[in-house]
Amino acid sequence: MTLLKPLLILLLLALMPACKYEPVSENNQVQSNNNSTSSIENSQNANSSAPLSRIEIAKCDGECTCDEIVSPYNDTGVTYAGDYPDTNLPQCDLQSGFNQDCTTGRDSVEGLSKLGFGSHGFDYTKINEQGRSLPNDADQWKCVLDNVTGLIWEVKSPEGSGLSQDSGFSYSWYSESFASYSSEDLGKCDSNCDTDSFIEKLNRKKLCGFDDWRLPNKIELQDLVNYSESQPSIDRQLFPNTKGGFYWTSNIDTDDKNSIWSVDFGNGRVAGGLSSEPRFIRAVRGKQNLYENNEVVSELESLISNRQAFANNQRCSQRVSFSAPSTRYLQDEKGHILDKQTGLIWKRCAAGLSGEECKEGSAERLDWQQAYEYVAKLNDEDTGANWRLPSIKELQANNELACEEPALNPFVFPNVPMGQVWSGTPHNKFEDSSYNYEYRNSIIFYSARTVKHFVHPVKSCAANTK
């Protein structure tokens, strides 16, 4: 490996939008951010005298299966395998010896039937100014329908066009619902350069015939990322003029004041950034995916004292609805967890941990090769189980938006290790690296495959062939 690559990664880390967390010590104890709104909120219910209570996860009748995925989402776009310790194999031909990202999901289906078109497993339809579908070879379109999720996305105008959707325009983040997190009119655009003002402009002009445009949530925006491409990481034939930078989501970073989640279309990172720092916008319309939860969360589940019995340092914001309540999950006779939203079945405990509360043993940190060997051993012990490393999108889809440390439901996944967990998604440009997900706070980044991270195996439910 040359010296240039490590220096470049250090530079990227330095430029990455800061999520202001104190470092984790060896015993996973952290100092609360004094400016954290959620810490103040939690101090009120953390002192509750209510008795601790386990939230029971409903059981499957035998093996957990699913008839359909409630919230369909796109695959990563990766059709190549990652080798260890470096390089990517040009095709997904199992030369690596393991069931990787490229062998699973829509990207792996030969002759995949599509309503429109798009690279790999993506399926899009061009939309005109009146909201009508266009043929695939149309040379002008204003919006794009994602035929997988049902969402409709804005298409940007060329940079320098001066039009209201100029791809070079940037915006600060502002929302009347979260005024204390907001920064008004600090971007660089034609006028009123913040997110709320831009969305209002789109709805006033009825872009593509619609007046219900909004900012996407974290999962929706990351779902557009094509991880087989960089600068920008998106299907360029459908989304021209995309900038290789950070785009705002609708989600506040619950643990940091003035911090908002954004997705980097340079290479698919996800991180928090100050609302005052200008970012790009890509508006969306349609039913919210995954975070639209209509199930009632019980008082016992919302009590922070209960949650901290299974996640010592978890903090949750009362200003954000729970995205991953216990009612979203089922448990089979072996203790594995079915997520009814995604159709994924997770090991309850991370590698190295066991027991009903995952307190037996100690969480193991493994390099990428060791992580795959661990999963292969699970499959040897349970023939036909098809355990694998989750893709980087599957890890994000399991996120508990209202909480951090961990950003998971602790009743479903108790004693979660604080740190990065490996995905099975290799980086397309830095061929010695793969993506990882931070269970502490849900940041997405990547690292060299020789680095040791935690492992949380997953498999598709029995109703899915991939």
The answer to whether the beta carbons of residues 224 and 153 sit under 8 Å apart is: yes
What is the per-residue pLDDT for 91?
84
* Two structure tokens written together for 408: 């998971």
Ramachandran quadrant class, 333 (left: phi over 0; alpha: psi -120 to 50; beta: rest):
alpha
**Predicted pLDDT of residue 61:** 85
Q: Residue 76 — φ and ψ, nearest 5°?
A: -80, -20
Q: Tell me the HSE value of 69 on the side-chain side, using a 13 A CA sphere.
A: 21
Q: How far apart are CA 314 and CA 306, in angstroms?
A: 10
CA–CA separation, 284 and 220 (whole Å): 9
What pLDDT, on a 0 to 100 scale, did the predictor assign at position 431? Answer: 95
Q: Which contacts qualify for 116-121: CB closer than 8 Å, 24 or more apart?
A: 116/145, 116/147, 118/235, 118/237, 118/238, 119/77, 119/226, 119/228, 119/235, 119/237, 120/75, 120/77, 120/78, 120/79, 120/226, 120/228, 121/74, 121/75, 121/77, 121/148
For 69-137, the DSSP string reads -SS--------SEEPSSS-EESS-SSTTSS--GGGSSGGG-TT---SSB-STT--EEEE-TTS-B--TT
pLDDT of residue 37: 36
Sign of the CA dihedral running 175, 180, 184, 188: negative
Phi and psi (nearest 5°) for 448? -60, 145
How remote is the C-alpha of 44 from its chain's centroid?
A: 30
List C-alpha distances in Å: 179 to 271, 274, 284.
20, 13, 22
Alpha helices of 186-227 — where are they, by DSSP H?
195-205, 218-223
Which helix (H) or strand (E) segment holds residue 344: the answer is strand 344-346
Per-residue pLDDT tens over the stretch 60-70: 988 888 877 78
Identify how many contiguous H helices and E strands the chain contains and give both numbers. Answer: 8, 20
pLDDT at 385: 85
Question: Considering only CA atoms, which of 267, 436, 279, 301 is closest in space to residue 365?
Answer: 436
- C-beta separation of 193 from 277 below 8 A: no
The neighbour count for residue 61, using CB atoms within 10 Å, is 9
Collect the ranges in the chain with pLDDT lower than 50. 1-49, 51, 464-466
pTM of structure: 0.89
Q: What phi and psi, each to the nearest 5 degrees, are found at residue 112?
A: -60, 130
Query: Is the previous residue joined to 232 through a cis bond, with omega within 30 degrees of 0?
Result: yes
Give the residue from 388, 400, 459 showing the smallest Cα distance to 425. Answer: 388
pLDDT of residue 96: 65
